[in-house]
A and B are shown apart, each in its own frame.
Chain A
């Protein structure tokens, strides 16, 4: 690596590296030279527009993904998604690098500061509350598919002007499965893995009657069908994507937020499992993209946004242990990327200006037509 003296230089170097590799590999163009006038863009009206946001809880580093040596791990992103997408090479997360608090920050547009391991609601209004209150949308129009019990309060803040009644409906696939398999969960344990960040802490997964009602009345799945299909899946994220596809088919929410978590197995320190997680996430993102293009409610009017919540520690920082954690707060652990594809998005373009993680919520507001008044970021104008 070049001798880069400041964090800003490191970020810019990372961005340039990603852009160069992407340009070489996928024949992409640099974004700033390719602006088209707004009238040239084909996009659905805000009323019909749908958004699917995919976040990775547990970032993947450049060297295992976009750099030359890592591209073999993301064949679907490289060959299917990126050529059709606008790709932002430098998304900076300046907040706490813990998955729940960071994902909550992505959802509020404010760097939340609560304890990452506490079961609390975000303090600032979430994107779901802005969306539903401003646009007077029903609760069925905003959904979160989240990886573990720790995320069950991410759909709704404790803010007194929003909060109860305005949030998203949150579905926890593992809890759903736990409820459905309460009599004999042995065959499904591989789908109930939880909480990689503290591998010795596995919060109890308890299902209840409400979960089973969700299964039958909302997802239109019988318990038996659900259990049968679950046996064909190999990881919690596969279960999440399966549930998300059911939601898309049966409920077709305007705003759907999915948090994947398999990559975070990296905390257990086994490199091969971390790579397996990346490859699975790559495949699942392509599956979601395909679902967006084939589901009638979504085809042609949906924007897909994919971003890790943050990165992981670099090999060069002696204070960390490379890919295993995200504890040093070094530049690479704070730098990640954003992929936008679908309705209203320019295809095959790379932008290397710095974007802040908090820009996501104002951007969603600008696309869907609500005002994220308390969010800290700014709309990303390149995707509007």
Chain B
């Protein structure tokens, strides 16, 4: 089937809001090439469970495309139209299974040496879209905070090396109540500038109690879901003929209820957040077994998808590396040994990625970022007025550093 054959009833299986938006833009979708449409449907099929920022971006993209004439659409998508697809791809049920189609398309592009061409036309399209529909600046400058090195008594190697040229390094931080100041600061922002999924606290271990205005995700709280997931993965791996691609397809279809995440019993049910958490565990590599990787990937996905105004990420020690089958096992009776210094190194680099991903969002020039070695006197701050590549000898607490940075 080709996009030109699309009919409204094909989308009867889509969730309500997703179906509504697809059907309303069907005349436009019919004019687009097959190498493009399933990737868009992959997003729209889960439109009902998207964050507000994602919904808005899809709406603006579709609105822009719908205003283009037929010849403008042809011109805009000529690169995609030149991608050669196979008969198997054309015959695939890409309306109902767009995610699997995109996986097959990816394999096809690699094996037919068209990946570079596809990558180029995708980048060109993104540039064009960005120029035509510029992203809206955030209502307040963004703030990102990373807290690393929990549990490390001392560390001699220099920290924040990737970030030092971008900001001010503080070597004499008073660490007392540091975490409290940071949690208070993000809670204050959430109260002053309320926005759904606009202010986040991600913890790689057990999270602190925090203001309900914050969207909270923690590795510890997801332990039952992780255990359920690992058990399901192990069952699948043990099945004869199971390969990594089939497993990936199964993981992509996981829902919160499959992992026992239905919180409706007694607690407010937030399926948008639960689906986000499932995606972090099923799409992220290593997120199931390493808490540092979980925190980094959750932060990346939160920034990419929800575009938060505030994001506090606290890294916790991960388990020491063991054979993969041992780490995947859910039957271990002994708590795994922790790798404190390795986790500090992981967190240090992940903080750099958190900053990079924040800087990819609109309003980057006004955004601020702080990274702190938890319980110690080292921190680094980046902000529009912070002198770059400098080192401060001032004795200060984190509340003061934040006030100087924002």
A200 near B233 with CB under 8 A, answer yes
Nearest-neighbour CB distance to chain B for A150, whole angstroms, equals 10
- Encode B262-300 as 1/0 by CB contact (under 8 A) with A: 000000000000000000000011111110110011001
Q: Is B140's beta carbon under 8 Å from chain A?
A: no
Asked whether A201 is an interface residue with its Cβ less than 8 Å from the other chain, the reply is yes
One of B189-197, B208-216, B341-349 contacting the partner:
B341-349
Contact of B244 (CB < 8 Å), options: A201, A272, A273: A201
Asked if A273 and B342 sit within 8 Å, CB to CB, the answer is yes
The answer to whether B156 has its CB under 8 Å from any CB of chain A is no
Cβ A273 vs Cβ B119 within 8 A: no
Kindly identify which residue among A195, A200, A318, A329 contacts B115, using a CB–CB cutoff of 8 Å: A329
Q: Is the CB of A190 within 8 A of B296?
A: no
Tell me the chain A residues, 198-237 only, with Cβ under 8 Å from chain B.
198-202
> If A269-B285, A275-B345 touch, does A200 touch B247 (CB 8 Å cutoff)?
yes
Which of A192, A267, A322 has the most chain B CB atoms inside 10 A of its CB? A322
Chain B neighbourhood of A60, CB < 8 A: none
Find out whether the CB atom of B292 lies under 8 angstroms from the CB atom of A270: yes
B side interface size, CB within 8 A:
51
Alpha-carbon distance between A200 and B251 when the two chains are bound, in angstroms: 11
Does chain A have a CB within 8 A of B350? Answer: yes
**A321–B298 alpha-carbon span in the complex (Å):** 12
Shortest CB-to-CB span from B116 to chain A, Å, is: 6
**Nearest Cβ in chain A — how far from B118, in angstroms?**
9
Q: A69-B161, A271-B345 are in contact. Are A189 and B247 (CB under 8 A)?
A: no
B243: Cβ under 8 A from any A Cβ: yes
| Most chain B Cβ neighbours within 10 Å, of A98, A190, A195, A271 | A271
A330 to B343, CA, bound (A): 28
Most chain A beta-carbon contacts within 10 A, residue among B107, B293, B322, B348: B293
- With a CB–CB cut-off of 8 A, which chain B residues contact A198? 244, 247-248
- Are the C-beta atoms of A117 and B285 separated by less than 8 Å? no
Interface flag for A315 (CB, 8 Å) = yes
Question: Cβ of A272 and Cβ of B245 under 8 Å apart?
Answer: no
Contact A117-B107, Cβ < 8 Å, known A268-B285, A273-B342: no
Q: Does B323 contact A (CB under 8 A)?
A: yes
Option from A111, A202, A273, A324 in Cβ contact (under 8 Å) with B321: A273
Contact call A270/B318, Cβ cutoff below 8 A: yes
Say yes or no: A200 contacts B237, CB within 8 Å: yes
Q: Contact between B325 and A202 (Cβ–Cβ < 8 Å)?
A: yes
Query: Do B353 and A322 touch (CB < 8 A)?
Result: yes
Is B285 touching A267 in the complex (CB atoms < 8 A)?
Answer: yes
Q: How far is the CB of A314 from chain B (nearest CB, A)?
A: 11
Asked if residues B286 and A268 are in contact (CB atoms below 8 Å), the reply is yes
| B345: A residues at CB distance < 8 A | 271-272, 275
> Contact at A268–B289, with CB atoms within 8 Å?
yes
Shortest Cβ distance from residue B369 to the other chain A in the assembled complex, whole angstroms: 15
- Are B324 and A324 within 8 A (Cβ)? no
B293 with A189: CB separation less than 8 A = no
**A96, CB-defined interface residue at 8 Å:** yes
Contacts of B183-209 to chain A: CB distance below 8 A: none
Q: Residues 315-328 of chain B: 1 if any A CB is under 8 Å from the residue's CB, otherwise 0?
A: 00010011111101
Complex: chain A residue closest to B339, CB-CB: A272
Complex CA–CA separation, A285 to B291 (angstroms)? 32
Is A194 at the interface (CB under 8 A from chain B)? Answer: yes
Bound CA span A84–B138, Å: 55
* Min CB gap B18→A, angstroms: 24
- Is B10's beta carbon under 8 Å from chain A? no
- Asked whether A115 is an interface residue with its Cβ less than 8 Å from the other chain, the reply is yes
In the complex, what residues of B have CB within 8 A of residue A373's CB? none
Give the residues from 110 to 151 in chain B that come closer than 8 angstroms, CB to CB, to chain A: 110-113, 115-116, 119
Asked if A113 meets B111 with Cβ closer than 8 Å, knowing A270-B292, A322-B353, the reply is: yes
A4-22 contact mask (Cβ, 8 Å, vs B): 1 or 0: 0001000000000000000
Q: Are A202 and B237 in contact (CB under 8 A)?
A: yes
What is the bound-complex CA distance between A330 and B349, given in angstroms?
Answer: 21
A190–B323 touching, CB < 8 Å: yes
Instruction: Report chain B residues within 8 Å CB of A272.
Output: 339, 341-343, 345-346
Interface residue? A325 (CB, 8 A): yes
B356: interface (CB < 8 Å): yes
Q: How far is B357's CA from A202's CA once the two chains are assembled, in angstroms? A: 31
B293–chain A nearest beta-carbon distance, Å: 4
Q: Chain A interface (Cβ within 8 Å of chain B)? A: 7, 69, 94-98, 111, 113-115, 117-118, 189-190, 192-202, 265, 267-273, 275, 315, 318, 321-322, 324-325, 328-330
Q: What are the 9 closest A-B residue pairs judged by CB atoms, nearest first?
A: A269-B293, A269-B286, A272-B345, A198-B244, A268-B286, A272-B342, A271-B349, A113-B111, A189-B323
| New A-B contacts (20) at CB < 8 Å, excluding given A117-B243, A196-B324, A200-B237 | A69-B161, A94-B113, A95-B113, A113-B112, A114-B111, A117-B245, A189-B326, A199-B285, A199-B286, A200-B233, A268-B285, A269-B287, A270-B292, A315-B353, A318-B304, A321-B353, A322-B353, A324-B286, A328-B119, A329-B119
- 13 A-B pairs with C-beta separation under 8 A: A7-B116, A94-B113, A98-B110, A117-B244, A118-B243, A189-B322, A202-B328, A268-B286, A269-B284, A270-B286, A272-B346, A318-B304, A324-B286
